[in-house]
Amino acid sequence: MPIDRRGFVAGGVGLVASAMGAVPETQAKPAATSKPSRHRRIATEEAWSFPEHLDALAALAQGNWHNLDVEVINPAGARATEGLYVNLMDTQARLREMDRLGIDVQILSLTAPGVQLLRPDRAVALAELANDRLAAVVRSAPGRFGGLASFAPQDPAAAAREMERAVRTLGLNGFIVNSHTDNEYLDMPKFWPILEAAEALDRPLYIHPRCPADTMAAPFRGTRLQSAIWGFAVETGTHVMRMITSGVFDRFPKLQVIIGHMGENIPFHIWRSDHWFERRRAAYGSSLTPSEVMKRNILITTSGVEHGPALRYAIEVVGEDRIMWAIDYPYEVMEPSVAFMNKVEITEPQRAAIFHGNAERAFHLPQS
């Protein structure tokens, strides 16, 4: 890059240029030196898959399952030749769209619900395969992709071993889990080896949504409310509130957890959560209030939320140093997400932190 972005932003002249820079026109010259000066763009919740995984999901969809996920993930047992599934797998087409829109990096992760619906032995094996394949994708386009490692919570000891391999051998940047596993949550002691591994390896754990657990599924059945419209946030927000209030972050004080979708409703509720935590303090295991945990151990991303008031509110209550940009591709479209972050009314230091600075730090990315 011909311009030092940090110096550019610090100099203040970046304000207008970035706001106007928006999305490059398709007729713009492709050379990097001809792009308008702008913030580096790192998208942090970007779904990816590979044939063996999609085949496994298709087989589940044809089975006799009654959980809410199956009808969402693959309603017809679709194979990898259909639209969404092509977009999950085709990293060349993804790179072309990233180039067109000036997206520097995508942090890829195996699409929900990952390996969490499989039998433990199959889940362990498929997570290892997923991480090998993902590491190969990251290597295939140097500097353009990061990767979050999968693991099988069904076998916590194996999960911790795979997490260590994923960081130390494969060089992946963090971990992803899709909320509950067999209706159980990560605050339960059986899962602590997973949290211990993430903390020891100094890499963040992204808790991605899936549909509400069987144990709270009934009011969602027949409503079509089980996924992104509402149920994902209920499920995932509940999961993280269990971790926050139970004392997980006293036991693992350096653990960093990421949640998407502007914080899965937790930031909007944070005053009331603090208020009732304080009034019933003896009922909870945590020495920290929910807002103290949010500011120390939780990062949120903008995935799937292109709403200025929500972003400005999140900046006010969790801080610009704990928010990262995400698209949620291919479930969302890249271009409007870039346009939103280019134009939303926040300061340029905030835009820089959210577009790239916080992600570089959280995922240990080189700061080019």
Hey, which residues are catalytic here? 328
Using the 8-state DSSP alphabet, how is residue 45 labeled? E
Window 108 to 127, contacts with Mn ion (CB under 5 A): none
The distance of Cα 287 from the centroid of its chain, to the nearest Å, equals 27
Q: Rounded to whole angstroms, how far apart are CA atoms 236 and 199?
A: 20
Is the CB of 320 or the CB of 328 nearer to Mn ion? 328
Output the smallest distance, CB 45 to Mn ion, in A.
5
Is the CB of 117 or the CB of 160 nearer to Mn ion? 117
Note the helical H segments in the chain: 5-10, 14-21, 51-61, 68-73, 83-89, 91-101, 120-140, 156-168, 192-201, 231-246, 248-251, 266-279, 290-297, 308-318, 334-343, 348-352, 358-362
Is the CB of 264 or the CB of 328 nearer to Mn ion? 328
Does residue 69 belong to the site contacting Mn ion (CB under 5 A)? Answer: no
Is the CB of 45 or the CB of 162 nearer to Mn ion? 45
Is the CB of 114 or the CB of 290 nearer to Mn ion? 114
Which of helix, strand or coil describes residue 324? strand
Site string for Mn ion, 9-48 (x = CB under 5 A): ------------------------------------x---
Binding range to Mn ion, per CB under 5 A, among 64-72, 181-189, 309-317, 327-335: 327-335
Output the smallest distance, CB 22 to Mn ion, in A.
24
Output the smallest distance, CB 331 to Mn ion, in A.
6
Q: Rounded to whole angstroms, how far apart are CA atoms 267 and 237?
A: 10
Output the smallest distance, CB 205 to Mn ion, in A.
15
Which of helix, strand or coil describes residue 223? coil
Q: Rounded to whole angstroms, how far apart are CA atoms 128 and 131?
A: 5
88 and 49 in contact (C-beta within 8 Å)? yes
Binding range to Mn ion, per CB under 5 A, among 131-139, 156-164, 182-190, 323-331: 323-331
Q: Rounded to whole angstroms, how far apart are CA atoms 259 and 244?
A: 13
Which of helix, strand or coil describes residue 173? coil
Output the smallest distance, CB 52 to Mn ion, in A.
20
Which of helix, strand or coil describes residue 368? coil
* # residues near Mn ion by CB under 5 A: 2
Note the helical H segments in 103-230: 120-140, 156-168, 192-201
**End-to-end alpha-carbon separation of the chain, Å?**
8
117 Cβ partners below 8 Å, 6+ apart?
57, 60, 65, 67, 69, 70
Q: Rounded to whole angstroms, how far apart are CA atoms 57 and 309?
A: 37
Indicate which single residue of 187, 235, 328, 332 sits in contact with Mn ion (rule: CB under 5 A): 328
Is the CB of 45 or the CB of 128 nearer to Mn ion? 45
Output the smallest distance, CB 332 to Mn ion, in A.
8
218 Cβ partners below 8 Å, 6+ apart?
none
Phi and psi angles of residue 263, each rounded to the nearest 5 degrees, phi first:
100, 15
Is the CB of 158 or the CB of 177 nearer to Mn ion? 177
Q: Which residue is nearest to Mn ion (CB)?
A: 328
Output the smallest distance, CB 366 to Mn ion, in A.
25
Binding range to Mn ion, per CB under 5 A, among 63-71, 114-122, 149-157, 320-328: 320-328
For binding to Mn ion (CB under 5 A), which residues are involved? 45, 328
